[in-house]
Amino acid sequence: MPIDLDLYLGGVHAGTITHRSSTAGPQPELTYTERWLNTTGAFPLSLSLPLQEAPHSEKRTRRYLESLLPENSSTLADWQRRYRGMDTTDTTSVLAVLGEDVAGAAQFVPAGRSPDTSRNRILLTEHEVGKILADLRRYRGAMPHVTQAPRISLAGQQAKIGLYYDETGWWLPHGDHPSTHILKPSAEELSDVDINEAAMLRAASVLGIRTRQSTVHTLGGQRVFITQRYDRQRDPNGMIQRIHQEDFTQALGYRPQAKYQKDNGPALQHIIPFLRKHLTNPEEELDQFNRLLAFNVAISNADAHAKNHSILITPTERRLAPAYDLLSVAAYPAYSQELALSVGRQYQPRLVQEADWIYYARKTHQDPDRVLSIVMSVWSHAPDAVADALAYFGSPPGMRDIITETVESTLTRLPRLP
């Protein structure tokens, strides 16, 4: 059953999600509060839902909300069992229970209720963390043997949890208390995916791409990929504050299911003009985006879809979020190797050549020489950066060989600069 919600941004009651009757059933609409509209430094919940007095239509509102939920059916089934009365087929029903810690600065609570500001948390032993990770890995996102689970919603397909970490250890956050780290156990269906992701993020950082600190660690006997949340920041008083963010599907108003270009999702021809219009320093940010795009092609990251790119939104700035979910899919030949976003008209990463970059640049009104210079810089240094990162995390030889060969193949396709 749909549930009306109150939206809080930065601790301020910023909006309401109410439901309008229609022949298709109750439809959610977002209306910003007068208080938020008059707040200095107010920012929108989404660039697709700009600040305005009139309610936003159900289509854009629903699409934004749906993108806050995981795509993992095991996780959703676990929530249906764990939280009495929750209807996981209705987004507002889920957010009424788990909406106080989602991506970005937004918090959702049942209408008329304020967020729980007690910031309660429970200290976990390494054994307890390991038990959570073991369940997540074995049951692919569900935690049937865990009695106290994090009340948090993280988008995506891969099994993951959010926990709070400080010098005393790992904590289970409750209510308003934000998580600071995302933990992903190694997946049985994707061998050594934790090492793959950690290594690709490390290599990306060496190549000038913004990332957050990530590593592979063992907790309670379970190997796990751990990354700092880029949408959480410690203030001068030591308190963790939420930083607002949204992914590209949310920002451009697409359904979360349309994250791939071939699934009627956004193409680079839609994304680049949008970024140029909305980002605070568009040319600098487009250089950063093109650096990441070149790296994703080099490593054959077929999963760099629109939900794996995000925008940070603050009262003073809009910029690209640090890179996340970087993966060389070349290590998993059973999976599609097609790029989520074509470069020019080319979807096959190992066939992307200079002409494709020029076509892409011209189609998106960018300087081709500038784009080619970035591609050449990334591709010429990527083989060493990736090889070093794979060695740092102890990548198995089979994975190491196929990824390094994939990246080295770009050297035969380096652009020629005038």
Of the chain, the end-to-end C-alpha distance in Å amounts to: 62
Give the chain as a 3 state SS string: CCCCEEEEECCEEEEEEEEECCCCCCEEEEEECHHHHCCCCCCCCECCECCCCCCECHHHHHHHHHCCCECCHHHHHHHHHHCCCCCCCCHHHHHHHHCCCCCCCEEEEECCCCCCCCCCEEEECHHHHHHHHHHHHHCCCCCCCCCCCCCCCCCECCCCEEEEEECCEEEEECCCCCCCEEEEECECCECCHHHHHHHHHHHHHHCCCCECCEEEEEECCEEEEEEECCCEEECCCCCEEECEEEEHHHHHCCCHHHCCHHHCCCCHHHHHHHHHHHCCCHHHHHHHHHHHHHHHHHCCCCCCCHHHCEEEECCCCEEECCECCCCCHHHCCCCCCCCCCCECCECCHHHCCHHHHHHHHHHCCCCHHHHHHHHHHHHHHHHHHHHHHHHHCCCCHHHHHHHHHHHHHHHHHCCCCC
Query: What's the pLDDT score for residue 294?
Result: 99
Cα–Cα distance between 328 and 387 in angstroms, integer? 12
pTM score, whole prediction: 0.94
pLDDT digits (tens, 9 = 90+) for 382-398: 999 999 999 999 999 99
How far are the Cα atoms of 115, 277, 413 from residue 5, in angstroms, in the given order? 11, 31, 52
Percentage of residues in the chain with pLDDT exceeding 90? 78
pLDDT digits (tens, 9 = 90+) for 211-257: 999 999 999 999 999 999 999 999 998 889 999 999 999 999 999 99
Query: What's the pLDDT score for residue 34?
Result: 98
Q: Domain boundaries in the chain? A: 5-110, 121-228, 243-413
Cα–Cα distance between 11 and 8 in angstroms, integer? 6
The two most distant CA atoms of the chain are separated, in Å, by 65
Confidence tier at 147 by pLDDT (50, 70, 90): confident
Confidence tier at 417 by pLDDT (50, 70, 90): low
Q: Say yes or no: domain 243-413 is CATH 2.60.120.260.
A: no
CATH classification code of 121-228: 3.30.200
pLDDT digits (tens, 9 = 90+) for 342-380: 999 999 999 999 999 999 999 999 999 999 999 999 999
Q: Is 322 exposed, middle or buried (0-12, 13-18, 19+ CB in 10 A)?
A: buried
Cβ partners under 8 Å of residue 259, min gap 6: 249, 265, 305, 306, 307, 308, 340
Confidence tier at 280 by pLDDT (50, 70, 90): very high
